[in-house]
Amino acid sequence: MRGSSPSGRPTAGTRAPRPRAEQPEQLGFEGMPERLFVCTPSKLGAYEDCPRRYRYAYVDRPAPPKGPTWAHNSLGASVHTALKNWYALPADRRRPEALPALLKGTWVREGYRDDEQERAAYRRALGWLESYVATLDPAEDPLGVERVVAVKTGVLAFNGRADRIDSRPGPDGPELVIVDYKTGRTGLDADDARGSQALALYAYAAERTFRRPCRRVELHHLPTGTVAGHEHTADSLARQLDRAEATARDIMAAERAVAEGADPDESFPTVAGPRCGWCDYRRSCPTGAQTPGKEPWSAVAAAT
């Protein structure tokens, strides 16, 4: 979910205005709950990383121009979609020889330095996929692939798209597992899975969507073939939910302050750091513009 602004609704010119007693402001709505904050993991993460980046992406209209497409995002999107389409095949066609066509059919070309780098990235991605699907049972269908799960609390209306939701045997019956594919940095471990707010929110929402326990979350790192997993408890999921709600309250307070005339730069401050070089809005940000920018292909080149 990546931001919109409200628009007014025209009224019919021939309709008489409602009597004053019927106007909403006369009906004593002061005690009604505040609107829910509609969000995705990326929306919450953008604010936690840098409130200024959140403002550029979700508040300012028109939004500042974004930078170029990143090659590592193109690579990740290509691999994710190829795996989604792998599971869309009939079980008897889920064979390694199907992968080249699947990857070519989903390949995103933007961001690479040149054709040579792009071809090298394609070969590398195909190798990841071949190694990964060799670990899968082609006859086994996940409960969900690229599945949207959603949940509402007293503060937020969350929805997100999980890469995969598995159903696995548990001590008291089937249990759900959230699987997230990773194609980027190496060195992922159980702490990364434990600390991921996105995975925890997926698990919380999936448990309520499917009415089955969902406590395990896993990061599947395709380049290394490793799995980093964590078993949540009800308390640890609740802590991640509390964190998400606290972020939502901060965002709503900042948006309300700007609407009431506060300085947007003060309400949405910049968090300077290494991420500035990779930010889509670096050129529009006074702080980010002072940071050397990365080339669109830098991350792919570093991985070779």
Q: What angle do CA 193, 160, 3 make, to 5 degrees?
A: 120
pLDDT, residue 11, reads 35
Q: What angle do CA 141, 144, 148 make, to 5 degrees?
A: 170
pLDDT, residue 304, reads 66
Q: Does 3.30.450.20 match the CATH number of domain 144-242? A: no
pLDDT, residue 19, reads 36
pLDDT, residue 185, reads 75
pLDDT, residue 51, reads 98
Pairing of strands 144-152, 214-221: unpaired
pLDDT, residue 24, reads 34
Residue 50 backbone dihedrals phi, psi, to 5 degrees: -165, 110
Low-confidence ranges of the chain (pLDDT < 70): 1-33, 304
Class of residue 165 by CB neighbours under 10 A (exposed 0-12, middle 13-18, buried 19+)? buried
- CATH 3.90.320.10 placement within the chain: 144-242
End-to-end CA distance of the chain: 32
Q: Which amino acid is at 199?
A: L
pLDDT, residue 17, reads 38
pLDDT, residue 99, reads 98
Residue 181 backbone dihedrals phi, psi, to 5 degrees: -80, 140
pLDDT, residue 16, reads 37
pLDDT, residue 301, reads 86
Class of residue 49 by CB neighbours under 10 A (exposed 0-12, middle 13-18, buried 19+)? middle
pTM of the model: 0.86
pLDDT, residue 29, reads 39
